[in-house]
Amino acid sequence: MAHAFLVIDVQNDFCPGGALAVPDGHAVVPLINARQAAAELVVLTQDWHPPMHQSFAVNHPDAAPYDVVTMPYGPQVLWPAHCVQGTTGADFHPALDTTRAALVVRKGMHTAIDSYSAFFENDRVTPTGLHGFLRERGVTAMTLTGLALDYCVAYSAEDAARLGYRVHVQASACRAIDLRGSLAEALVRLQACGVTVGA
C-alpha cells in the first residue's frame, strides 16, 4: 500500500449547526465518499476532547472564544467547547462513509495539550502513532481531505511532509475556518514544505 487517504475530523461539531461549525463543512462529505472508493488505505481522524480540555475558552476565566493564550508548547487559540468525548458533536457526520477505514485516530484526548495534527500533538513532538501504522504498511504518499483546511488538515499535511511523505491536499474536499487570515497563512506554509494543494 503506497498511498493513504486521510479524512480529517469530518465531525458533527465542525459541520453546520455544530459547536465549532466550519462554513459549508458538510459539503466535503460526498466528495470524500466518492474518493474513498478508489483509495488503497483509508484513515479517519477524530477530535476527542475531555470536557476540561485547556483549549476550550470556557475553561479559562475571563477568556473568550478565539482569544490566544500561551501554553507550555506555544500559542493556543481558545475554541468553543467542541467534540467532547462521547457526545453527538464528536460523532462523524452521519453521511460520511466510515466502513472503509482501516484506522481511526482519536486526538486531543490529553487535557493539557491540543492536537491539530493527525501525527503529533501541538508540541509537535508527542506522536499519535499514525506514522508507525503507515510505515508498517509501506505508505510513502498520501492525500488529505476534511476539516478544517487551515488548522487540522494543514498541520497534518505539514507533519506528514516533515516525516518524508509525498503529500497532496485535495482542497475541493476541504473547508476552512479562516480565523484572522489563517487560511492564507496555512497555504504559504504548505507550499514552503512541499505539499501540493489542488483538486
Could you report the per-residue pLDDT of 132-142, keeping only the tens digit for each?
Answer: 999 999 999 99
Residues with active-site annotation: 9, 107, 152
Give the model confidence (pLDDT) of 55-66 as tens digits: 999 999 999 999
Query: Does residue 114 register a pLDDT over 90?
Result: yes
pLDDT tens per residue across span 69-90: 999 999 999 999 999 999 999 9
Residue range 3-51+81-198 forms a domain whose CATH class is: alpha beta
Residue 158 in this model has a pLDDT that exceeds 70:
yes
Q: So what's the pLDDT on residue 57?
A: 97
The pLDDT assigned to 93 comes to 98
Mean pLDDT of the residues in the chain: 96
pLDDT tens digits, 29-38? 999 999 998 9
Residues ≥6 apart with Cβ < 8 Å to 29: 10, 93, 95, 96
Give the contacts of 118 (CB within 8 A, at least 6 positions apart).
6, 8, 43, 45, 105, 107, 128, 130, 152, 156, 159, 160
Please give the average per-residue pLDDT across 164-190, as a whole number: 96
Q: How far apart are CA 176 and CA 151, in angstroms?
A: 8
User: If you average pLDDT over residues 157-180, what whole number do you get?
Assistant: 97
pLDDT digits (tens, 9 = 90+) for 117-126: 999 999 999 9
pLDDT at position 199 is 81
Q: Is the pLDDT of residue 1 over 80?
A: no
Q: How far is Cα 63 from Cα 127, in angstroms, rounded to an integer?
A: 29
